[in-house]
């Protein structure tokens, strides 16, 4: 598949889990891919190696995307090596489990920096080049129920941050529609991560109407659809890839 040959994708939180799946998905469409990460150099090296095995130009940049200046640095690095970003996948997020009454200041701000703030900073930085090109794709990754603005007990910061991204996604979609830029969001539910025990995965599956957890291909199909030129008339949507959870 080479629908996006010659284009550059940037994936935040792109070296493991859902982010890595997204990076590989757009690489398979012909994109050069930059992945941004904050922690494991080993994961970053492995992801870049896998991207290059798929014949994609690839780059990993280590940065804290909750910091505005760090976002400027990341885009300058990617533009210098790969070119202007035309596919932006905002996957970065953070978790903190506490009731609102017990949630401390630092935890709240860390989660918000890694959800709504990073999404805003990266989207704002990507838009001028997308406008000049007359083409762009912004794909934001959310959580089940974000579009309904449900309460999320013990996950107040992440729930609030992802719900805010729904509004930001639709606002960008409206503001940039005439510029050939689309903005859409993919909400995900349960996907076993690295180290998830089989019994925990089975317990997750029992809460899903389809009685299974998400597979990597489920995310791949959704990302490739929104990134594709074939979806050029589809913008401002929230797609629930949840097996029926929180629809």
Q: What is the pLDDT of residues 2-30, one digit of tens each?
A: 899 999 999 999 999 999 999 999 999 99
| Domain assignment present for 125 | yes
| Domain assignment present for 29 | yes
| Domain assignment present for 2 | no
Q: Which position has the token pair 């992802």?
A: 162
Number of folded domains in the chain? 1
| Domain assignment present for 25 | yes
* Residue 1 pLDDT > 70: no
pLDDT attached to residue 94: 76
| Domain assignment present for 58 | yes
| Domain assignment present for 179 | yes
Helix (H) or strand (E) run with residue 49 in it: helix 41-53
Cβ neighbours of residue 231 closer than 8 Å, sequence gap 6 or more: 182, 184, 225
Q: What is the pLDDT of residues 178-189, one digit of tens each?
A: 999 999 999 998
pTM as predicted: 0.94
Q: What is the pLDDT of residues 102-151, one digit of tens each?
A: 989 999 999 999 999 999 999 999 999 999 999 999 999 998 888 888 88
| Domain assignment present for 145 | yes
* % of the chain with per-residue pLDDT over 90: 79
* CATH code: domain of residue 193: 3.40.50.720
| Residue 45 domain boundaries | 8-241
Residue 105 structure tokens: 């200041």
| Domain assignment present for 247 | no
Q: What is the pLDDT of residues 79-92, one digit of tens each?
A: 999 999 999 999 98
């Amino acid at each position: 598949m080479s629908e996006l040959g010659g284009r550059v994708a940037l994936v935040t939180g792109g070296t493991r889990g859902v982010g890595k799946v997204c990076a590989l998905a757009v690489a398979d469409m012909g994109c050069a891919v930059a992945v941004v990460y904050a922690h494991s150099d080993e994961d970053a090296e492995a992801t870049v190696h896998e991207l290059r095995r798929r014949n994609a130009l690839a780059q990993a940049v280590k940065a804290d995307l909750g910091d505005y200046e760090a976002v400027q640095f990341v885009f300058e690095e990617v533009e210098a090596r790969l070119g202007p970003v035309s596919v932006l996948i905002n996957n970065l997020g953070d978790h903190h489990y506490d009731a609102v009454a017990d949630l401390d200041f630092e935890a709240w701000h860390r989660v918000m920096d890694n959800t709504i703030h990073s999404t805003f900073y990266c989207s704002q930085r990507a838009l001028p080049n997308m406008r000049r090109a007359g083409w762009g794709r912004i794909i934001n990754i959310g959580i089940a129920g974000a579009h309904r603005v449900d309460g999320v007990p013990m996950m107040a910061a992440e729930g609030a941050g992802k719900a805010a991204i729904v509004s930001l996604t639709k606002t960008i979609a409206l503001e940039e529609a005439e510029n050939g830029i689309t903005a859409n969001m993919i909400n995900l539910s349960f996907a076993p991560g690295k180290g998830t025990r089989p019994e925990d995965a089975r317990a997750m599956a029992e809460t899903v109407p389809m009685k299974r957890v998400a597979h990597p291909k489920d995310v791949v199909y959704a990302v490739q659809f929104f990134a594709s030129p074939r979806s050029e008339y589809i913008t401002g949507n929230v797609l629930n890839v949840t097996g029926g959870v929180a629809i």
